[in-house]
Each structure stands twice: as structure tokens, then as C-alpha cells.
A and B are shown apart, each in its own frame.
Chain A
Amino acid sequence: MATFFGEVVTALSRAGVDEEEAEREETPEDLEIRRELEKKRCRRRWGRDLLTLVLPTGCNAVAFLSSFILDSVRWEVVGAVSLWNEWCRTLDATNVLPTDSFCLFYRLISDPTVLLCQCNCHVAEDQQFQWLEKVFGYIQKKDLQVIILSTCPVTNYKTPESTLTLPSPFLKALKTKEFKDTICCPLLEQPNIVQDLPAAVLSYCQVWQIPAVLYQCYTDVIKLDTVTIETFKPVLSSKIMASLVKDVPESTEMLKKLLATNEIHNNIYT
């Protein structure tokens, strides 16, 4: 299992079903993982008495929060998590965040009990548990509430009709038992499930009885996309987010800037 924060362990970073395998020696890939992990650290400057944690995962959710919630006046950077896995090798060098850290933590200056974690990288299955321990381990669970934003390919959505006929993007929600606030979209029906970091966070919240809600946007666009980002807009009317929203003109400008930056760097002619 690959971890971060400088913890060196003998591990692989892929999930899979194990058959009757014997213990094996480290491959060159394992050695590379170990080397890269040794370089990574965690910096943290938030207190234990947190009441609200907002966690966007993936580029569209991160861009949504950057446009409609975050700014340099009201929010300050209070922590960072850098991690490494095989996916990091293939990530685009362009990053909308100002540093090379992949998970940045922002705190609302006027209300230090509100924390926002921008997670714009892939956290591998065997890193998720440790990520949770590092982030939630220092937060008191009493009175905490969590909101997670995420995207997922619409082809992963199971429906009796073909996914080609679905009007995507669309929003679905999952909530823990303790979450009693109104949800701004329909709940995700069985047999659909959620995986990756949003699932790990929601599982943690369900087990330890923390009110939490996940808003998952099913989209047919993988990259940064205005339509996908704006699908999250109903979330701004929720009780948690309503007090954090920026001015609409400012948000629209920020969104245009983010998309333009992304387009320039994705243009094969520049």
C-alpha cells in the first residue's frame, strides 16, 4: 500500500483481487513509488474545531468552487497534501492552483471553522484510507458536516434506457444517515454506486455518524467544461454553501479565465 507524507512502506499502489499469490519482491515501479513518496509531505494549519468541510474532487468540481466560492480576499491557504501515484505521471502540467501541491486546504478568514479542500488529482485506492486519517484525524467529529462535489462519466450511470438518450450532464446525490438538510437534486438510485475518494469520505462519515452529502455530476465531457461546471449551481442554494457564494459577475469572470487558461495549454499549436 502506497502512502504519502514521507511514510515509506513496502507497497503497491494498485487495487485488485488477489489470488493465491506469494509475497513478491519490489519491482522497479515499487522503487520509483518509494522514491517519489519520500519527497512528499503534508503541511497542516487548521484547528480541531471544524464545523464545515467542503471537498471538491476532479477538475470540474474544483473549477466550480474556484469560480463561485474561492477568492484570495476571503480565503487563506492553511495546508497542503502532496501525494504521488502512477496517475501523477500523466497529469497535465497546467494546474489552475498556484502551487505544485495537488490538495490545497483553504480556510475562510471570517469563519475559521469552514475549510475547503481542493483535490485536483487522483488519490489511488490504497492511498484513500491514509488520506482520510491525515485529514479527519485532526478534526473533531462533533458538529462537523461535510459536502463533497465530484464528477463521473455518464457511461457509468446505470439506467434501463441507453445513456446516449440521457440529458447529461445531471446531478445526483448521496447522503449519510445523519444528514438532515434539504438536498438540491434527486438521490442516486440503486444499482448505481460511487467509488474513489468521494466514496471513501462518505463511508468514513457514515460509519462515524458525520452528516455528509455527495453531489455527483454525471457528464459526457472528461475535461474542463462550462456546462458541467454550471450543473453544480443548484448546490449554491444549499444551507452549507449559501453563505459562502461570491458575487455572480465575479464568478462568471473567474470561470471564463479558468477555461481560457485551460484552452491555451491544451492547444496543440502553442
Chain B
Amino acid sequence: MFVPCGTAARRDFKGFTLLMPSVSVGNVGQLVIDLVISTLDMPKVGYFYTDCLVPMVGNNPYATAEENSTELSINAEVYSLPSKKLVVLQIRSPFIKNKYRSFCQTVLSWVKSSKCARVILLSSSHAYQRDDQQLHGTPLRYLLSPTIQKTVGDQMQKLNWKEMEKVAAYPEINNAEKVLHIPGGGITKLLFTERILLSMSFSFVLKKKNWVEHQPAYSHFKKTTNCSKEIPMAVLLKFCSEGDNIPDALALVNYLNEWLQLIKNEQSSSTTTTASHWKIPSSWRLLFGSGLPPALF
């Protein structure tokens, strides 16, 4: 549940864009969210208190001075910047086994009750699972739900972005049926494909009837359901592998910035490349552990 904090606590984010990560390969979505919060200096507006995530606490991961370094942070928190109509959910720990579906339901319920205009989910997918076509060109992809397609679909065309390809449901047997496949994407596919059903608490129906996206029953349900109840959702993801994922996070946040224009891209006078100024959070120190013992050498 969302628990507001701070002096100007608000529960209503009407018309805001919600950015949230999927806990996925390389934690790229979460790193992007860290960059956005740190660069825009977004104040914390609440906690997302849930039993679905592994508990963790630490001091302020975006501290810039001694004075602001002692505020406690928990595993899921909400930050907001009203001037940009932006609200951000950061998730800092993995899901507890078999609680990911419950988490998706809780998040979507909150999105509906807080009246967010749209959700942008930042994610990643295993680079090693790309097919021959995906190995070439940009490793960045997007997905749009039908509602948001109407409003921003043209913009994606102008940006020359690549939509996430669907894969054969039964490779080598039947290549005609295509499904969305996001290996290593965590809850990305679940949130994106079931945003209608989850938000309407029909997940039990889905489980009981064993519906999947390409089946006639699912399509019929979608047609007969009022699609305006669907939560407008976009997914931005990057193909990557586990390792030092800071470059992947920078690539994905720049991709996001091409669309949302959160910060201005400055053209460097000495080169033709575009330099963006993202502030690395103080908590990104020692990502690969403590220093090495001198005796090792």
C-alpha cells in the first residue's frame, strides 16, 4: 500500500506519468530510476509498503551532503516532481517467491486509485536470447498498450524507435502464432499483458480458465471489456547481460529522455555526439564490493 510521507503529503497523482522499474537482468530499470531521481533531485513523497518484496533498509541513497545523508530508505519508495507531472516508484529488492503477481495487482490498483495518466515501465531482457535479427542494430526496444499507442505512436515513428518483436509461440512447429517473450524481464510481460485483467482483479479468472493472449477466449474478453479501463502503459527495455550495467542504464535513460525530455541534451562543441548530464547517485559507490587486501598482490 502507498503510505504518504513528508509535509506536503498527497495521495493523488492525477494526470501524472508514473515511471517504475521491473526487477530484471542487470537491474537496469532500477538503475535508470536511480538516475532520474538523483538528477532531477526528486523529493520522496511516500513509501510503497508491501509484503511482496524482501525487506531492506539503508540511509539516503541520493545523499549529496552530511545533512541529507541520514534519512532512512526502505525497499520501495515513491518520489514526485509536480513541475514535470512525474511520479516515480523505485524498487530496491527482489520479489518474495510467488508474490510477484500479488505485487502487480497492488501496483496497478494503486495506479488506478492515484489516477496516474500513464505508466512507463523500464526493463531489460537477456542479450543472449536475441534472435539473428535482434543481434543487429539498436539493443533498445519499446512496447505500447493500445490506448497509449493512439497518443504517442506517431512520436515513436518520428524517433525511429524499434518495437519489441514477437516470437513464435511454438517454434519449428507453428511459426504463425506470435507471442511476446521478454526473457529476464521479471514482471514486465505480466504487467504489460495483464494490465487490464490485473487492474480489474480478474487474475483469478485468468488462472482458472488458463487463458493466454492468443486464445479466442482472451480476445473475446478483451473485446467485450471496456478498454478505457485499461491502464495506458509503455515499456522501454534494453537487451543486456549481467555485469557492469551502468552503461546499459545510461543508454536506457537517454532513450527515455528522447521521449520525455526530462533533461536537456547538450551538444558538445568539440564532438558531434550528444552529451547528457545524469547525476550518478552516491549509493553507486563500491558496486562490486570492498577494496582488495594489499597482501593479495
A interface residue numbers (CB < 8 A to B): 1, 11-20, 23, 125-126, 128-130, 157-165, 174-177, 187-197, 199-200, 202-203, 206-208, 214
Q: Are A175 and B291 in contact (CB under 8 A)?
A: no
Q: Are A194 and B57 in contact (CB under 8 A)?
A: yes
Q: Which one of B47, B96, B290 lies within 8 Å of A163 (CB-CB)?
A: B290
Q: Which one of A18, A20, A163, A164 lies within 8 Å of B98 (CB-CB)?
A: A18
Of B108-116, B139-147, B281-289, the one with at least 4 CB within 8 A of chain A: B281-289
> What is the size, in residues, of chain B's interface with A at 8 Å between Cβ atoms?
48
Most buried by B among A19, A187, A194, A195: A19
Residues of A within 8 A of B70 (CB): 175, 187
Decide yes or no whether B152 CB sits under 8 A from chain A: no
Contacts A162-B290, A164-B293 given; indicate if A1 touches B98 (C-beta within 8 A). yes
Alpha-carbon separation in the docked complex, A177 to B49 (Å)? 16
Contacts A126-B97, A207-B3 given; indicate if A161 touches B58 (C-beta within 8 A). no
Residues of A within 8 A of B100 (CB): 18
Alpha-carbon separation in the docked complex, A17 to B123 (Å)? 14
Residue of A nearest to B287 (CB): A191
Q: Are B285 and A191 in contact (CB under 8 A)?
A: yes
Q: Are A16 and B94 in contact (CB under 8 A)?
A: yes
Contacts A187-B70, A196-B55, A199-B56 given; indicate if A161 touches B290 (C-beta within 8 A). yes
Alpha-carbon separation in the docked complex, A161 to B63 (Å)? 21
Q: Are B74 and A203 in contact (CB under 8 A)?
A: yes
B interface residue numbers (CB < 8 A to A): 3, 5, 23, 47, 49, 51, 54-61, 63, 69-72, 74-75, 94-100, 183-184, 186-187, 189-190, 207, 282-287, 289-295
Q: Which one of A15, A162, A214 lies within 8 Å of B291 (CB-CB)?
A: A162
Residues of B within 8 A of A189 (CB): 59, 69
Residue of A nearest to B62 (CB): A190
Q: Are A158 and B286 in contact (CB under 8 A)?
A: yes
Contacts A23-B207, A125-B96 given; indicate if A207 touches B47 (C-beta within 8 A). yes
CB distance from A244 to the nearest CB of B (A): 25
What total of A-B pairs shows CB separation below 8 Å? 139
Residues of A within 8 A of B187 (CB): 18
Q: Are B58 and A203 in contact (CB under 8 A)?
A: no
Q: Which one of A12, A17, A188, A202 lies within 8 Å of B94 (CB-CB)?
A: A17
CB distance from A97 to the nearest CB of B (A): 25
Alpha-carbon separation in the docked complex, A11 to B54 (Å)? 15
Q: Are B23 and A17 in contact (CB under 8 A)?
A: yes
CB distance from B214 to the nearest CB of A (A): 15
Q: Are B72 and A177 in contact (CB under 8 A)?
A: yes
Q: Are B57 and A158 in contact (CB under 8 A)?
A: no
Contacts A158-B286, A160-B291 given; indicate if A174 touches B74 (C-beta within 8 A). no
Query: Given A16-B94, A126-B96, A194-B56, 13 more contacts at CB 8 Å?
Result: A14-B97, A16-B95, A18-B98, A19-B183, A19-B186, A158-B289, A162-B292, A187-B59, A189-B69, A190-B283, A191-B285, A206-B72, A207-B47
Q: Are B290 and A160 in contact (CB under 8 A)?
A: yes
Q: Which one of B58, B97, B285 lies within 8 Å of A193 (CB-CB)?
A: B58
Q: Which one of A128, A129, A190, A195 lies within 8 Å of B61 (CB-CB)?
A: A190
CB distance from A270 to the nearest CB of B (A): 37
Residues of B within 8 A of A196 (CB): 55
Q: Are A174 and B189 in contact (CB under 8 A)?
A: no
Q: Which one of B57, B96, B189 lies within 8 Å of A20 (CB-CB)?
A: B189
Residue of B nearest to A155 (CB): B290
Residue of B nearest to A160 (CB): B291
Alpha-carbon separation in the docked complex, A165 to B294 (Å)? 9
Residues of B within 8 A of A20 (CB): 183, 189-190
Alpha-carbon separation in the docked complex, A1 to B289 (Å)? 31
Alpha-carbon separation in the docked complex, A165 to B95 (Å)? 35
Residue of A nearest to B289 (CB): A158
Alpha-carbon separation in the docked complex, A95 to B186 (Å)? 41
Q: Are A191 and B55 in contact (CB under 8 A)?
A: no
Q: Which one of A17, A130, A199, A208 lies within 8 Å of B57 (CB-CB)?
A: A199
Residue of B nearest to A212 (CB): B72
